[in-house]
Structure 1
Amino acid sequence: MEMDAQKRERGMEMDRILCDELLEEVLRRIPLRPSVSADVSLVSKRWLRLYRSSISCLHLRLSPDNCAPTSLSSFLSHFPRLVLLFATIVGGDDVSNFPDQILLSIASSCPKLRALRLKSEPVSLFPLISLSTSCPHLTSLHIAQARPFSFHWLVFLHSLQMLTIVFTPVPGEVDQVDALQRNFNAALKLETLVLDGIQRCDFGFASLWRSCKNLKTLRLYRCDGIGDDTSASSFVDCFNGLQEVELKWCGSIVNDILMRLVENCTSLNTLLIYHVGLKTMALAMSSKLEELSLINCKVEPGLLVTLGQRFRNLRELDLSFNEMLVDEEFISMLASCNCLRGLNVRGCEGLANASVVSMFKSCKQLESVDILNCPGIGAEAVELLVLNCPQLRLIWVEESKLSDVSRSWSSKNFVLVLNV
Structure 2
Amino acid sequence: MKGNRKLKKVEISELTEDLLCQILRRVSDPGDRKWVSEVCKQWFALEGLTRRSLCLLKISPLRKVLPRFPNLVTFQTSVSISKEADLEFIAQTCPKLKAINLYGEGSLPKNGLYGLSSGGGLPKLSKVSVRGRSCVGIERWLDRFPNLTYLDLGRCWGVDDNAVEAIGLLCTCLRYLNLEHADISDDGLRLLAHGRCSKTLKTLVLARCYDITDLGLSHLQNMQCLEELDLESCGDEDTDVTDTGVIAAISSNRSLKKLNLGRLTDVSDQSMVYVAGNCPNLEILDLTGCSNVTGAGVRAFSGHRCLESLVLRDCGEFYWSDIGHMVLGCKSLKSMVLSTPPMNDSVPESISRIVTLIHEW
Contact 1:198 1:223 (C-alpha < 8 Å) held by counterparts = yes
Matched, 1:161 2:149: yes
Partner of residue 115, structure 2: 130
Tell me by how many angstroms 1:83 deviates.
0.9
Matched, 1:139 2:97: no
Contact 1:338 1:363 (C-alpha < 8 Å) held by counterparts = no
Contact 1:367 1:391 (C-alpha < 8 Å) held by counterparts = yes
Distance 1:14 1:366, change over 3 A: same
Partner of residue 307, structure 1: none
Q: What's the Cα RMSD here? A: 4.4
Partner of residue 87, structure 1: 77
Q: Which runs of 5+ in 1 are unaligned?
A: 1-12, 91-96, 170-196, 292-313, 411-415
Distance 1:384 1:107, change over 3 A: same
Where in structure 2 are the equivalents of 1:308-323 lying within 5 Å?
317-322=259-264
CA distance in 2 between partners of 1:375 and 1:282 (Å): 18
Equivalent position amino acid for 1:346 in 2: T
How much identity, in percent, do the aligned residues show?
22
Partner of residue 118, structure 1: 102
CA distance in 1 between partners of 2:147 and 2:11 (Å): 41
Q: 2:241 aligns with which of 268, 278, 282?
A: 278
Tell me by how many angstroms 1:42 deviates.
3.5
CA distance in 1 between partners of 2:71 and 2:176 (Å): 30
CA distance in 1 between partners of 2:275 and 2:217 (Å): 23
Partner of residue 48, structure 2: 52
Q: 1:198 aligns with which of 154, 159, 162?
A: 159
Segment drifting more, 265-274 vs 35-44: 265-274
Task: Provide, for residues 59-95 of structure 1, a one-character-per-residue CA deviation record: whole Å limited to 9, x for no partner.
Answer: 22225xxx24xxx2231111132111111106xxxxx
Contact 1:367 1:392 (C-alpha < 8 Å) held by counterparts = yes
Partner of residue 182, structure 2: 223
Partner of residue 20, structure 1: 17
CA distance in 2 between partners of 1:377 and 1:243 (Å): 36
TM-score (norm 1): 0.61
Matched, 1:391 2:336: no
Equivalent position amino acid for 1:370 in 2: V
CA distance in 2 between partners of 1:339 and 1:357 (Å): 16
CA distance in 2 between partners of 1:331 and 1:287 (Å): 13
Where in structure 2 are the equivalents of 1:6-405 lying within 5 Å?
15-16=12-13, 18-33=15-30, 35-63=31-59, 67-68=60-61, 72-89=62-79, 98-120=82-104, 121-125=106-110, 128-132=113-117, 133-143=120-130, 144=133, 146=135, 149=137, 151-165=139-153, 169=157, 197-199=158-160, 209-212=168-171, 218-225=177-184, 236-238=194-196, 241=199, 243=201, 245-255=204-214, 257-258=216-217, 265=222, 267=224, 269=226, 271-275=229-233, 276=235, 277-278=240-241, 280=244, 287-290=251-254, 317-322=259-264, 329=270, 333=274, 336=277, 339=280, 341-342=282-283, 343-348=285-290, 355-360=297-302, 363=304, 365-373=306-314, 376=317, 382-397=323-338, 401-405=346-350
Distance 1:17 1:212, change over 3 A: closer
SS at structure 1 position matched to 2:78: strand
Segment drifting more, 72-81 vs 14-23: 14-23
Distance 1:131 1:261, change over 3 A: same
Tell me by how many angstroms 1:166 deviates.
6.5
Tell me by how many angstroms 1:58 deviates.
1.4
Tell me by how many angstroms 1:105 deviates.
2.9
Distance 1:14 1:288, change over 3 A: farther
Partner of residue 406, structure 1: 351
SS at structure 2 position matched to 1:249: coil
CA distance in 1 between partners of 2:107 and 2:175 (Å): 26
CA distance in 2 between partners of 1:282 and 1:225 (Å): 18
* Bigger Rg, structure 1 or 2: 1
